[in-house]
Structure 1
Amino acid sequence: MSDAQNKVQVTIEGRKLSLSNLDKPLYPHFTKGEVIDYYTRIAPVLLPHLRDRVATRLRFPEGVDGLRFFEKNAPRGTPEWVRTETVQTPGGRNESVEFVVIDDLATLVWCANLAALELHVPQWRIGRRTDLMVFDLDPGEPATFSACCEVGLLLRDVLAEDGLDAYPKNSGKKGLHLYVPVKDRQVDDTSAYAKRAAERLAKEHPKYVVSRMDKSLRGGKVFVDWSQNNPAKTTVAPYSLRAAPEPRVSTPLTWEEVEKGEPLPFTAEDVLVRVAEMGDLLAPLVQG
């Protein structure tokens, strides 16, 4: 098939895109066309979590079993209608990066066509203060997702003592994420607060919680990673696909599901059905 025959021209929200290699498997049994279809259908709940946040894309040009690379800069050939923002990279070497900002469906589809399977964003919006705090609960073998759920419940209670609400989602792999919406003056320094909370849990439950990053300390414990609140760090966005043998999704959960402590490896199709029935469980993160 020639390159011309292998491309499809589409118009999305008035923007013209050329989509290519739609039959190419990006997962063993999930094509680029199906990736684009998923992101198109999930866009109403995904886009609010991406809007006004600089996006780091994890791209897989040859699929999940091939070459992968993180991309921060807007690549050569970025259409002029794609929003980009030049931002000084926090905590770095005084460098600036021209980031892509995924504010609309056309940009989301453009990214998916570039095999950007995973979408990662920081806890701050452009031109605003930090509005989110996140904890990444990562189990060290032989600890499992169930252990993450137990620690997540403990962390929820610690946060509640300070009047903070937490909302869970699975990482799409083996861990659990807790998101906390932060209003002005509610938490002065989210990174410092998150570190104190993690250290408190590790002190109170040393047999199965660790707050230090040394991998040698994580065996059989849950690492409460507070460092995701560093302005230079990103976390995989809600509803983003993850690189795995099947198209799993980082999926918002209910606290009732966390209390059950069962692994919940939702696929793209599972999540579309789930959102149709339950809506966006993380809607409180983007309200107001």
Structure 2
Amino acid sequence: MKPMLPTLTFAQPVQKDWLFEVKYDGFRAILDWDSNGIELTSRNGKSLLPQFPEIEDFLLQHENEFKPFLPLRLDGELVSLENPYKANFSAIQIRGRLKAAKKIEEQAKNSPCRLMIFDLLVQNGKPMYSLEFLKRKEELSKLFKKTGLELNADPYNKQLLQPVMAYEDFNEIWEKVVLYDGEGIVAKQASSIWEEGKRSLQWLKYKNWKYVSCFVTSYDKTNGYFYLGVYKDDSIYGVGQVLFGFKPDEKQALGQILKQNMVKEDTQFIYVEPAICLEVKYLELYENQLREPHFDHFRFDLAPEDCTYDKFIFQQKNLPEDLEITHPDKPLWDKFNIRKADYILYLREISPYMLPFLKNRLLTVIRFPHGMFGEAFYQKNCPDYAPDFVHTHTADDIDYILCNNLKTLIWLGNQLAIEFHVPFQTTVSKGPSEIVFDLDPPSQDEFHLAIKAALLIKEVLDQLNLIGFIKTSGNKGLQIYLPLPEDEFSYDDTRLFTSFIADYLISKDPDSFTIERMKKKRGNRLYVDYVQHGEGKTIVAPYSMRGNEHGGVATPLFWEEVDEKLDPRMFTLDYALERIRQFGDPFKSYFQTKSIQPYAPVLEVLKQNSQKKG
């Protein structure tokens, strides 16, 4: 059957009684499951199961759970899920072109695709097309709950059938789509019915366009496309072509100007020198070409020399509008090819994972205005020249920056704030939001001591059923986090546990660990600084870079990585990004853990023991 289709809109579809879903970029697919078996059909009627056998395998593994609801028909998108709000279009295109059965089987096992379900059309053989969209959505949620499947979109969950949830607040979902660089959203009227094969005005797709400032290089007489370029060094770098988005008079005028100023012509093309600049919107760069390009407007304020490859890359990453990145070519490290542009792009890509740990925290940054080639300085007070979008919070007569959004993060990056340090509580919490152990060996040569301490602490946490997360410090140590529910514990409460752990480590290995505060008395032992976890103290935020010679990043780890092979110097800017792309974020369940962390019974025992000692 032909699926119902949304209509493209360029205006924000914010209307009363509409709901909003993430738009995933993949293959539209309708799933049919009845007594004859499972079928997954593409928009043009082609069976997708031979190409994506992992979907059928997953469903058959859960056949008993689904059996009470058959015959079943679901509407969705088959995707290579990159993050909860974005699918990788390039990856599924490559997957869809595979021919060899062995290669398909290998990809299905190692990089399985997911079927994102956004509509329920038939259940128990009963058609649901005429039900209102809101009702169908409610029934879809019930189906997932009754079959024991989770309701969250998650690229690292082995659940290959995942629901697309609906949001009532456009701004809430749009902020996440932009932050995670998703394709866009689909707005749906709550009362709309499902109409086969119809491109409906009751479903509207609103895309997360990127923009490129470019110039015209040629005109294809055979199909009407205008070819586009930017300057990379002194050469023209082609970025694709555009046909749509012009008003008839705009297209006619542009074509006429090109003919009048051509430098060369052949049977297919009219060629011109770079002169006319355009703003073109597009979804992403796919195989070095703009995908879904649309002309936006002429840029008479630009010269061709203003249209550069570096600016194109910044625009491609969807950096905040009207935020100028100054001196993008400035080198920051002498031993690594890390320019300011590379650092800004790192912050952009890591922002979905870093910002939650900065939100509503009094921020202290260490700025390196000359990179690693000059002096650095701490900054707590928000400077007078900070733009209006930078929010602040005053505490102890200091006007601290709150880095609560992408724009502030990138602005700080442009100020060459390299290190981000935050306290253990937020501006809206009364006590600590987490317990953190900072395991800092005397030098990198003694990093094995941090590993030993971390594994001993992990043993204790496991015995107490406590949930811990671990990261590198970005320098020479490791840091263990225990997320806590908000406003439930005091620093005195957490001090009992940090002190207990310190005593435990020293009792296990007094030659390796110490609580001696004077450096000259520590020897080569690891200092267990349980006093550091207190009000007003700070710790480097997850995914913050460090201003050291190896360009370290405070990188979240999986516990199974913590062994003698671990080398803190390997966690650099490039490696931190590579890890998260390949394996996901080890801290992804951090904030959900707060509500289930069983610290209260542990604290009760510690208090009883403390009273006995007293």
Q: CA deviation at 1:186?
A: 6.4
Deviation at 1:30, TM superposition (A): 1.1
Q: Verify the 8 A CA contact 2:545 2:552 in the aligned structure 1.
A: yes
Aligned-partner SS, 1:283: coil
Distance 1:241 1:257, change over 3 A: same
- Cα distance, 1:125 vs structure 2: 1.1
Mark the CA change 1:186 to 1:124 in structure 2 (over 3 Å): closer, same or farther. closer
Question: 147, 153, 158: which is aligned to 2:460?
Answer: 158
Write the letter of the residue equivalent to 1:121.
V
1:146–1:263 contact (8 Å) kept in structure 2: no
Report how many aligned residue pairs link the two structures: 276
In structure 2, how many angstroms separate the alpha carbons of the residues matched to 1:116 and 1:247? 14
**1:58-114, Cα deviation, whole Å (9 max, x unpaired):** 000011231111111101201111111112xxxxxxx32111111111100000000
2:521 counterpart (217, 220, 227): 217
- TM superposition shift of 1:140: 1.9
Higher relative contact order at CA 8 Å, sep ≥6: structure 1 or structure 2?
A: 1
Gaps of 5+ in 2: 1-305, 595-614
SS class of match (1:112): helix
Q: Any conservation in 2 of the 1:143–1:221 contact (CA below 8 Å)?
A: no
What percentage of aligned pairs have identical amino acids? Answer: 34
Deviations 1:109-154 (A, max 9, x none): 0000001001111111111132111111111258521221011111
Q: Deviations over 1:135-193 (max 9, x none)?
A: 11111258521221011111122334443222111111111111111225467622343
Aligned equivalents of 1:61, 1:25: Cα separation in 2: 11
Which of residues 65, 72, 79 is equivalent to 2:373?
Answer: 65
Q: How does 1:138-157 map to 2 (within 5 A)?
A: 138-141=440-443, 144-157=446-459
Of 578, 582, 590, the match for 1:273? 578
Q: Which residue of 1 aligns with 2:545?
A: 241
Indicate whether 1:228 and 2:228 are aligned: no
Alignment of 1:171-182 (within 5 A): 171-182=473-484
Which has the larger Rg?
2
Q: How does 1:96-111 map to 2 (within 5 A)?
A: 96-111=397-412
- Cα-to-partner distance string for 1:262-286 (whole Å, 9 max, x where unaligned): 2142111111110012221112322
Q: Which structure 1 residue ranges, 5 or more long, are not aligned?
A: 88-94
One-letter amino acid matched to 1:257:
E
Q: Name which of structure 1's ranges 54-63 and 222-231 shifts more when overlaid on structure 2.
A: 222-231
**Normalised TM-score (structure 2):** 0.42
CA apart distance, 1:261: 4.5
Amino acid at match of 1:136: D
2:324 is equivalent to residue 22 of structure 1: no
1:115 aligns with 2:416: yes
CA distance in 2, matches of 1:162, 1:96: 41
Q: CA deviation at 1:36?
A: 0.5
Provide the rounded CA distance (Å) in 2 between the counterparts of 1:206 and 1:143.
19
CA contact (8 A) 1:59 1:71 kept: yes
- Aligned 8 A contact 1:139 1:218 in 2: no
> Which residue number corresponds to residue 126 of structure 1?
427
**Separation in 1, partners of 2:484, 2:461:** 12
Query: Cα 1:142–1:168, aligned 2, differ >3 Å: closer, same or farther?
Result: closer
Separation of aligned partners in 2, 1:26 and 1:14: 22
- Look up the SS of the partner of 2:325 in the other structure: strand
Q: How far apart are the structure 2 equivalents of 1:15 and 1:229?
A: 39
Measure, in 2, the Cα distance between the counterparts of 1:139 and 1:53. 27
Q: Does 2:363 correspond to 1:55?
A: yes
Measured in 1, the distance between the counterparts of 2:464 and 2:338 equals 44
Structure 1 distance, partners of 2:416, 2:476, is 23
Q: Which amino acid aligns with 1:168?
A: I
TM-score in terms of structure 1 length: 0.87
Distance 2:571 2:348 in 1: 18
